[in-house]
Amino acid sequence: MRVIIIFLFIQLGCVPYNVAEDFTNWHETVGIKNAEKIRQLEAYALFNQRIVGGVIAPVFAHPYLAGLLIDVGRHSPSACGGSILSASRILTAAHCWYDGRLQARQITAVMGTPYLFHGGTRIPVSAIAIHPWYNPRSFVNDIAMLYLPVKIPFSGAIQPISLPSGSLLTRDLNGEWLRASGYGRYSDVTAPTTNTMARNVHLQVMTNSRCRMFYGESVLNSTLCTYGSGGVGICQGDSGGPLTLNVEGEEVLVGVSSFVALAGCELQYPSAFARVSSYVDWIRPQLQ
């Protein structure tokens, strides 16, 4: 299996413009390095919890979140996120499977734990469906479905998330606040603490026209862009993770984390997601 991700290089002090490159070699430049940082943070958190009673964020906060450990044939794994849609399907970013250079040999889904490398339910992925028009050298159609060989044991800590339907299929969400979840960083200056495991951040949706001021024609109608408050964002490393909208107390999946600016998430460049409503017609048949 492989993953391809797109990252943007933005010169500080310059007027933002389209400088998007592609997902090529994302695993080596971002995914593997991020996974190793997560592993080290988890080791610190587990030690600190045993010694001084540190508190880990409850897994019930985002039971639909799946961590993905990805074997790309290197000495260390890469990492992504995903969203549990059913007892045997997880939605993620296509570049988490193939990044134009490295293809995943095996992906293990991790559920029901705030730790990516410790505990929880772990199931190796048996098959993957990539959007037929996915191209690792563009931002378009960066979406994929993972198939599991056995059913996920649902519990209070592991639950599927709903897809958008009805009016949500045409709602642009501009100005609304959404929640991104994952195992990666939400700050450029994250220090080791006991709450740096699976967590979430609230992000506000910006219009695509404004997002194009930063990323140019890389922003399509099927792209959903956000910025946060206080310089927070998805940063690097949460590719494939869920972006959700709370509808009458229930979280609904509206985005799949796709790309960010390499310049840094605290500089308030937008985070970009695949807009799930644009892909529902492809996603639903994969659930059969």
Angle (CA) 67-73-77 rounded to 5° is: 30
Q: Return d(Cα 80, Cα 239) in angstroms, integer.
A: 5
The pLDDT value recorded for residue 136 is 87
The residue among 205, 127, 158 whose CA lies nearest residue 64 is 158
Catalytically annotated residues: 95, 142, 239
Q: Residue 231: how many CB atoms within 10 A of its CB?
A: 16
How many CB atoms lie under 10 A from the CB of residue 19?
A: 17
Q: What is the pLDDT of residue 14?
A: 34
Tens-digit pLDDT profile for residues 72-126? 888 788 899 999 999 999 999 999 999 888 899 999 999 998 888 888 999 999 9
Q: Would you state the pLDDT for residue 118? A: 81
Distance CA 117, CA 204 (A): 30
Gap between the Cα atoms of 206 and 222, Å rounded: 14
Question: Rounded to an integer, what is the distance from CA 69 to the centroid of its chain?
Answer: 13
Distance from C-alpha of 49 to C-alpha of 194, rounded to nearest angstrom: 7
Q: pLDDT of the chain along its 288 residues, tens only?
A: 333 233 333 333 333 433 345 556 667 767 777 777 766 666 555 544 432 333 344 567 889 999 999 998 887 888 999 999 999 999 999 999 998 888 999 999 999 988 888 889 999 999 999 999 998 888 789 999 999 999 999 999 999 999 999 999 999 999 999 999 887 654 444 443 444 456 678 889 999 999 999 888 889 999 999 985 555 566 655 789 999 999 999 999 999 999 877 665 566 788 899 999 999 999 999 999
Which domains does the chain carry? 26-160 (2.40.10.10), 166-278 (2.40.10.10)
> 255 has which bridge partners?
243, 275
Assigned token pair, 44? 């610190």
Residue pair 35/77 in contact by the 8 Å Cβ criterion:
yes
* H or E element, residue 223: strand 223-228
How high is the pLDDT of residue 48? 43
Q: How far is CA 8 from CA 22, 134, 237, 259, in A?
A: 8, 18, 14, 8
Give me the numbers of helices (H) and strands (E) for the chain, helices first please. Answer: 4, 13
